[in-house]
Amino acid sequence: MKTIAITVKGKVQGVGFRFWVLRHAREIGVSGFVKNLYNGNVYIEACGTTNQLELLVSMCSKGPVNSRVESVQVETIEDAPHFHDFQIVQ
């Protein structure tokens, strides 16, 4: 398993982005969390197989209907904590 941090920039708050990520992350079977950042971005930590994570990143670059994703940054997290499910955190 691999863990990545995803930062999504653009119009991604106030459009249901976190709930959209939650639903899709659970559907593809990754664990981790999603949260809004104070600067208007959305931050995700996700753990899964390479294929699952690539799919999640691809989905995040599109986002839900009312969002406008400008960029998606991905970083690998070494020695990440183990997540049991996927959730929205504050």
Catalytic residues: 18, 36
- Secondary structure class of 7 (helix, strand, coil): strand
Pairing of strands 31-36, 68-76: unpaired
Other beta carbons within 10 angstroms of residue 73's beta carbon come to: 12
Cα atoms found within 13 Å of the Cα of residue 70, Cβ hemisphere only: 8
Q: How far apart are CA 83 and CA 67, in angstroms?
A: 27
- Secondary structure class of 79 (helix, strand, coil): coil
